Structure 1
Amino acid sequence: MIIIKHVDEFFEMMKPMIRLISSALGANCEVVLHDMRKPEHSIVGIENGHITGRKVGDSSTNLGLEVIRKPEEEGDLLNYLTSSKDGKVLKSSSLYFYDEQGKAISSVCINYNITDFMMAANVLNEFIRTAKKVDETFTGDINDVIEGLLEEAVEKVGKPVPFMQKEDKLKLLKYLDDKGVFTVKRSMERVAMFLDISKFTVYNYLEEIRVKSN
C-alpha cells in the first residue's frame, strides 16, 4: 500500500508524470489520474482520452468504486485485459494510493489499446500455422540423410543393433524401405554394414517384407 502524506502536492506532481508516460508510449496509451475522494468526477488528469472516450471531470470506474468501498483489500491490478465501450481491446494496469488513514485517495491507470496488435497477431499466427511438424534433413550429402534415417530406425526398434533379432532387423528394414532409403545407389551395402549382415541377407529380408506388405 502506497501512503501519500501531502495530497495536494501529490496531484500536482502526478499530472506531468502522466504526460511523460503517455508521451513515451504514444497515442495508443491512455493514462488517467483519479482523485478518488470525489468518485462522481474523479478524473483530474487524462492523456489520450480518445482511447476510452473520457475527459477530465468524468467519473471513476467500477474497479475504483470497489477500492473506495473496501480499502483494506489490495486494489492494485497489473497487466490485465479489458475493453472499451466501442470494442477496443485494452491492456491495462491500475495503481492505487492511500492517505495515512488507509483511505484510497488516488489511482493512476494505464490503458493501452492493443487491438491492432491482436489483429496483426492473428494474421501472423495464421501465416505461421502448420498442419504438423516433420523431421527433414537438409544436407548436401545423401549419406548424411541415410545416417540420420538409420539412427531413427534404431530408435523405432528400441534396441541397439548387436541385440537385434531377425524380427527387429525386419522392422528396421521396413522403416528404411518406407522412407525410401533403398532408392539410393549403394544404400544396401551401407545398411548391410550397419546391421553386420550380408548384402544378400538384406535383399532377402526386403523381399520378405515386401511380400508381406502386398
Structure 2
Amino acid sequence: MQGETLNLLKNLAHGIATQFGSNCEVVVHDLTTENKESTVVYIENGHVTNRKLGDGPSHVVLEALKKSPEDLQDHLDYMTKTADGKILKSSTVYIRDKGNKVIGIFSINYDITGLLMVENSLQSLIGTQKEKEEEVENIPTNVNDLLDDLLEQSVRLVGKPVALMNKEDKIKALKFLNDAGALLITKASEKLTAYFGISKYTLYSYIDQSSSDPSEKK
C-alpha cells in the first residue's frame, strides 16, 4: 500500500477512534504486503480485540484475498465477538486502487458489551417479544485461532463431528474451508489433513472434486 494512502487511512482511524473513545477499535489491514499472516499495519485501541501491529488476518481479510474484487462488498453494521466474550458492532470497508484491486481493509469495531447489558435490563421491563439472536462472527487474534474457527464452522456446516463424516461430508467441509481462504494460511494443509484424518494427496483430491462438482455450479 502506498504511503500516501496509508497515511490517509491512519489519519481517518485516529480521528474516528478519538471521536468515539476507547471502546472504538479502528484497524488498517495492508493486503499488498508479502507476508499475508501479518496484515495489521495500523491500529487504534487494540485492547478491544487484544490485537497489535503485525498481527494476522481476520475472516474478512481472507475473503478479500480469496475472492475477486467484483464479488466483494463493504460489510457494514454487523455483530462480531472476541475470544474473551466482548460483543462488538463492526463495519468493514475495502480500500481499492485505481484498477479496483482491493489493497487494504479499514475496519471499525465498537465494544457494545456494556450497552447490551443496559439494553437487556430495559428489555426485561418493557419488552413484549424476545428478538431472534443475531449470529455473531469471531474476531481471532492470530492465524491459528482463525484456522480453528474456520474448522469449527466447517463442522457446523456439515452437521456432524469429524469422526462420523463420510467422504462426501469431508468434501463439503473442505470446499467451505477452501472457499473461505483457509489454505492461504501457512501450513494449513498439515492441520487440515490431521484434523480430517486424510493424506495431503486426498486433501487436494477432495478440493478438486468439490470444485468440479456440477451441482455446485450456477
TM-score higher than 0.5: yes
* C-alpha separation in 2, matches of 1:61 and 1:35: 12
TM-score by length of 1: 0.55
Deviation at 1:87, TM superposition (A): 0.9
Alignment of 1:81 onto 2:76: no
Aligned-residue Cα RMSD (Å) equals 1.8
Task: Report deviation, 1:15.
Answer: 1.0
**Aligned with 2:2 (options 2, 7, 10):** 7
How far does residue 129 in structure 1 lie from its aligned partner after superposition?
A: 4.5
Residue 125 of structure 1: aligned partner: 123
Larger Rg: 1
Aligned length in residues: 126
Confirm or deny that 1:31 pairs with 2:26: yes
Secondary structure (helix, strand or coil) at the match of 1:64 reads helix
The 3-state SS of whatever aligns with 2:63 is: helix
Task: Tell me: CA distance 1:101–1:116, structure 2 relative to 1, closer, same or farther (3 Å).
Answer: same
Runs of 5+ consecutive residues of structure 1 not aligned to the other structure: 1-5, 132-214
> Structure 2 length as normaliser, TM-score?
0.54
User: Aligned to 1:96, which of 94, 98, 109?
Assistant: 94
Partners of 1:16 and 1:115 lie apart in 2 by 27
Describe how 1:145-160 pairs up with structure 2 within 5 A. none
Match of 1:18 among 8, 13, 16: 13
Q: Does residue 138 of structure 2 align to residue 111 of structure 1?
A: no
Q: Which consecutive aligned stretches of 4+ in structure 1 deviate over 6 angstroms post-superposition?
A: none
User: Please, which of 63, 68, 74 is the counterpart of residue 66 of structure 1?
Assistant: 63
Identity of aligned residues (%): 42
Which is bigger in relative contact order (C-alpha 8 A, separation at least 6)? 2
Of 10-19 and 86-95, the range deviating more from structure 2: 10-19
